[in-house]
Amino acid sequence: MSRPRGEAPAGRRRAALIVFALIAGTVAVSDQLLKSWVVSPASGFKENIPSPIIGDWLRIDLIHNAGGLFGLFQGSAPVFAVITVGVVAVLLAMEVGSGWRSWLVTITLGLLLGGAMGNFIDRYHQKYVTDFVDIGIGTSRFYIFNVADSAVTLAMILMIVVWFVAPHLGVQMPPEKDDAAGRMAKDADEASKLRVG
């Protein structure tokens, strides 16, 4: 008995979900472990006192970020915590619904979920996010960030590749094998455009 069109082989879908969960879990756990080490007395790092790691280019500068990514919207940590719950639900739905079609999509969604979870844990327990990675030259510095922020930023770059760059390189979802299925896919695409607009 053949599977319905558009459905993934069970093994492929299962593998994608495992990879998705492993990426998200690895990002969230490594983010929390590194934060725990940085804030521990054994690390020797003090809040708001930069410590050079690779000269002035890479420093540990421990701060409490009560806002969002890159320190935006300070004082809104509880709001971001609530939003994150919705984001996690959307990411899970997206992976279950379509991540299996592309490993790049699975990796992107896994990074986003891991980053969201890492910072959500901070906001839930502390009402702020622990940031500590400080890169730059002299007084020209980037926003202080953490592992979760890095995962989200990388995922954003991959999203640009998936949605804007890949189609121009001829990378598409596998086409359906008959005209009827092709028309259904086209109709669904048009409907989604109307909903967005």
Tokens of 72: 């935006």
Catalytic-role residue among 56, 131, 134, 178: 131
- Catalytic-role residue among 149, 178, 179, 187: 149
Q: Is 131 a catalytic residue?
A: yes
- Three-state secondary-structure class, residue 178: coil
Pair 137, 180: CB distance under 8 Å: no
Q: Say how far apart CA 125 and CA 147 lie, in whole Å.
A: 18
Contacts of 15 (CB under 8 A, 6+ apart): none
178 an active-site residue? no
CB atoms within 10 A of CB 113: 27
Catalytic residues: 131, 149
